[in-house]
Structure 1
């Protein structure tokens, strides 16, 4: 596998009415985002909501946080499929004078020009949202008796996490919808999947806002979880 330093990624920013959303291959270099990411995974309430009982809170150093992002997301997701997590921050006030009512996907020279106007380190990071090929990341190994899986474009797992101080404001919904729409428009994704702990009604309600419904699949083979799917391809 190529090292993360050997692969370049297209300059990319997603803008929504309240958020600026940046791929982690860019955000991993920002100490302010790494601090937010580390704080989320050290927060018991966040870990309980996002991952369930099997993922207790843990405290990472800055170097450990960087390594986690690089190995779990950039190398396993971005390098393989050009899909992965995005860092999510509040949109700076200077860009709110003409509110963005739709999703804006900014890339190439226009993205470089925009990023030159923003001090990324000073953004107020609130969480992350991402899409990844579940067949190469989170699903358990397949057995001979298991039914064949659909193409990877129909096995795209949605991930999101927002700091508890911003819960109840709809930011997870706004960020995840933006990343999902980008993946449809730019990467040819045709179906999304997700899983939640059965008692995690908060995450279930967020998924339902995107158009997810229970799928009845057993991809993750976890009886304590509900599996979901969404074939809605126009979210914005």
Structure 2
């Protein structure tokens, strides 16, 4: 089982007990504001998502990690890697992403977890390029992308929802661990 420890976090595979706390994160309109069409997700949709995330681990050898606080064991969201099939123009690519519950914003957890996931991508999984995609105006995510050393590579439009997207990128030659 793949696990990564950072000073404050444990990045790990998904467990049955993660469903309810992740569905609570997905039910928060502020958390979901910048995701897809901005819709919240219910328990069943969250269960389907976790199942897809676990399948990606099996199929690709990487995926989205459940992120928990080391001190309390509380699930705070996810970070990790996925194939951005929703945006064919950037393929082939692997995307790094994150989603944390609102109580955990502004404490550096997203940057800490994303840095560990990026290191996993480039050093453990041998990827030579990673992208990250967000809507313009999502300053918090763009700040994390810049902290990771990523740079804006292109502006495009979401093919399903027709809103603008920014695509950031880093390659192994630019990575400073």
Which of the two has greater helix per residue? 1
Residues 1:128 and 2:66 are matched in the alignment: no
Tell me which of 54, 73, 93 is aligned to 1:74: 54
Paired positions, count: 173
Q: Which runs of 5+ in 2 are unaligned?
A: none
Give RMSD over aligned pairs.
Answer: 2.2
TM-score by length of structure 1 reads: 0.66
C-alpha displacement of 1:220: 5.2
Match of 2:105 in 1: 167
Q: Contact 2:96–2:114 at 8 Å: present in 1 too? A: yes
The answer for the alignment partner of 2:9 in structure 1 is: 19
What's the CA shift for 1:217?
6.0
**Match in the other structure for 1:90:** 69
Unaligned runs of 5+ in 1: 1-10, 93-121, 143-148
Q: TM-score, normalised by structure 2?
A: 0.86
Higher RCO, 1 or 2 (CA under 8 Å, sep at least 6)? 1
More strand by share: 2
2:132 corresponds to 1:200: no
Between the aligned partners of 1:202 and 1:47, the Cα distance in structure 2 is: 13
Instruction: Tell me which residue corresponds to 1:185.
Output: 123
The answer to whether the 8 Å contact 1:177/1:210 transfers is yes
State the partner residue of 1:28: 15
The 3-state SS of whatever aligns with 1:57 is: coil
**How far does residue 91 in structure 1 lie from its aligned partner after superposition?**
1.1
Are the equivalent residues in 2 in contact too, given 1:195–1:225 (CA < 8 A)?
yes
1:57-84 per-residue CA deviation (whole Å, 9 max, x = no partner) reads 13224xx5333211x2122x21221110
Residues 22-51 of structure 1: per-residue CA shift (max 9 Å, x gap) = 02xxx233x2x21121011100000014x1
